[in-house]
Structures are given as structure tokens and as C-alpha cells.
Amino acid sequence: MAKAQTKRLVFLSVSAVLVFLFLFQYCAYAFRMNTDSPRVEMSVDPGKGQSGYISIFNYDEEETIRVKAYINDLIYLPDGSNDFLPAGVTPWSVADWLKIAPTEFNIPPKGEAKVRYRTDVPKGVEGGRYGVVFFETSPSLKELKDKTGATINVRIGSIFLITVKGTERYNTELEDLAVGKPDENGVFEISCNIKNNGNVIIRPNGPVKIIDSSKSEIAELKLNEEKSGVLPGTSRQFSVKYDKGKIAPGEYFAQVVLDYGGETLLGGQVAFNVNLAK
């Protein structure tokens, strides 16, 4: 591990048809509700507060919908997707800082509702807090008159990312940098583990260079180009594939340089061989 000195993803059975109809109806209903704030980011001074509104829209032209709002904790799964837990169970939970109102309301046809949020940051705290506000509804009786007999709940969310201003601490490690064996098409994977020892979310991203034994660069790839996050006190594995065709047998180096938000870059290099044998 090394650090640089400068910053910087034609036959159907009857059961299959029913599943398709159920999913089609679910998606059709889901698109009738939306929010203007899929993500809310705030930087708040210790001992201070900040507030705002989230709008939720009902695009149905005939039906009123009943909506329930509630807070969950946010986590990231190994594949980078979001998952959610009951409020208050993670060390980075925003639940104690965040209040929302109202928590139950109706939205008329083609109407809009506003939910107010208020974040109050206690004195003497540091780092970041994270979570999601969900808006959940069920379709009307009219929507439920299908042949599946299923009950459909629809929810959309607004991710909250709150940082205590001036208290950010970045401490990140790059571990287990490795290169997999190329397959018959010359495709191989470069992977590493990023450990976040700091107190705020990080989004490590940057180039992965493939360098030959003469120190000539033969390819540059992008690791975590979508800038997925690593929460405080957790680790995540990231990988990228080289799929630009076969490279000649010999010794190579995979060099990684990542920007994670701190004052320095995070770098590492590993040697690997492309076997001479066929």
C-alpha cells in the first residue's frame, strides 16, 4: 500500500404469465408516485439545525393515495446496492437527528404533498449520519382488482447524507489488491478492498493502469466510476475488468490511484504474470 503526496454496473407457462402481469401492474402503479428529492445532502454546524421540504407527487388522474412516511437506516451491500434496516440500529444512523412531518397523509389525483424535515445536530458530535426517508403507499381497491389476489405496497425513498461541518476525518486503507487469471478471451479482473476508518462516507474512485515490464502503459480502466460509497467503519470490495483483448505473455503491473475525498490520494501496485503457456 502506498499514498501519493498530492490530492488528487415462445412459450410461457400460466404461472409465468401471472408473474409478468403482477410485475407489470406493480411497475405501472409505482410510476404514479414520485418525489423531487431522491437525495438530500446537508453540512450542518454542531449545535445547529437545518430544515426543508420534500415534495411527493401523485400522477394518477383519478385515485387519491394514502402515504405513510418513516425513517430507516442505510447500509451498502457487497455488490454496492443499497439496503435498509430499522431506524437507530447502525452507528451512523440519522434517526436521532432527523424529524419529519406529517408522517401520514393523502395526495389527491394529480396532486402534490409536502413533507417537512428538520435536522438538529447536537453539540460535541463529529462525522456523518446517514439514512433514508421512505414514502410508502398501497394501491386503491380499484388497483387491487387483479387476478393474482396479491397486495401491492409501493414505496419510494429520499436518502439523507448529513455531515457535521468541520469535523470530517478521513482515514482510508487500500487492502488486498489482486489481479485474477485471464480467461480464454484475455479478460481478467482487478480487485481491492477499501476500508473506511474515518467518520464520514467516502466514494473512492480513480484510474487503474496496466503497465508492462518496460513501464509502458497499455491500458487505463476506471474503478468505481459510479462513485458508490463506503460508510464509516466498514469495508467494501471494488473490482474492474480488463476486456480490451488479449495482452502478450509476460510480467505486468496493475497500478491503482484513488481519490477518496481526503487531502492525499490512495495508491497501490501489484505485479502479475500472463502465462506463456497456452
Question: Which residue blocks in the chain are alpha helix, DSSP H?
Answer: 14-30
**Are 85 and 216 part of one and the same domain?**
no
Which amino acid, one-letter code, is at 107? I
The pLDDT of residue 79 is 73
For residues 48-64, average pLDDT: 93
The pLDDT of residue 149 is 53
For residues 30-48, average pLDDT: 89
**Are 50 and 90 part of one and the same domain?**
yes
**Are 199 and 124 part of one and the same domain?**
no
Closest by Cα among 30, 36, 26, 159 to 92? 159
Residue-wise pLDDT for 111-168, tens only, equals 999 999 999 999 999 999 999 999 998 755 555 555 455 556 788 999 999 999 999 9
The pLDDT of residue 259 is 97
Residue-wise pLDDT for 164-203, tens only, equals 999 999 999 999 999 999 998 999 999 999 999 999 999 9
Residue ranges making up the domain that contains 196: 172-274
The pLDDT of residue 220 is 96
Whole-Å CA distances, 191 to 69, 194, 215, 229, 256? 39, 10, 21, 16, 10
How far is 266 from 225, CA to CA, in rounded Å?
16
Q: Which three cell numbers stand for residue 165?
A: 461541518
The pLDDT of residue 7 is 42
Beta bridge partners of 42: 162
N residues, the chain: 278
Residue-wise pLDDT for 221-275, tens only, equals 999 999 999 999 999 999 999 998 889 999 999 999 999 999 999 999 999 999 8
C-beta atoms surrounding 252 within 10 Å? 21
The pLDDT of residue 148 is 53
Question: Of 115, 138, 160, which residue is a domain's last?
Answer: 160
Whole-Å CA distances, 214 to 1, 150, 221? 22, 64, 19
The pLDDT of residue 179 is 96
The pLDDT of residue 222 is 97
Query: Cα angle vertex 58, ends 143, 21, to 5°?
Result: 30
- Residue 1 placed within a domain: no
- Residue 204 placed within a domain: yes
- Residue 129 placed within a domain: yes
- The CATH code of the domain that includes 192 is 2.60.40.2360
- Residue 65 placed within a domain: yes
**Are 96 and 177 part of one and the same domain?**
no
**Contact predicate 3/269, CB 8 Å:** no
Name the pTM for this structure.
Answer: 0.80
C-beta atoms surrounding 44 within 10 Å? 17
**Are 32 and 65 part of one and the same domain?**
yes
The pLDDT of residue 23 is above 50: no
The pLDDT of residue 14 is above 50: no
The pLDDT of residue 207 is 97
**Are 45 and 147 part of one and the same domain?**
yes
The pLDDT of residue 56 is above 90: yes
Q: Which three cell numbers stand for residue 198?
A: 474515518
**Are 73 and 208 part of one and the same domain?**
no
- Residue 220 placed within a domain: yes
Residue-wise pLDDT for 82-112, tens only, equals 899 999 999 999 999 999 999 999 999 999 9
How far is 109 from 102, CA to CA, in rounded Å?
19
**Are 28 and 119 part of one and the same domain?**
yes
The pLDDT of residue 154 is 84
For residues 43-72, average pLDDT: 94
Beta bridge partners of 201: none
DSSP string, 56-110: EEE--SS--EEEEEEEEEEEE-TTS-EEEEETT-STTB-TTTEEEE-SEEEE-TT
**Are 185 and 50 part of one and the same domain?**
no
Q: Which three cell numbers stand for residue 177?
A: 489488491
Question: Of 138, 160, 182, which residue is a domain's last?
Answer: 160
**Are 24 and 140 part of one and the same domain?**
yes
Question: Of 110, 133, 160, which residue is a domain's last?
Answer: 160
What is the count of structural domains for the chain? 2
Helix, strand and coil in the chain, % to nearest 5 = 5, 50, 45
- Residue 258 placed within a domain: yes
- The CATH code of the domain that includes 135 is 2.60.40.10
What pLDDT band is residue 15 in, cutting at 50, 70 and 90?
very low
**Are 125 and 200 part of one and the same domain?**
no
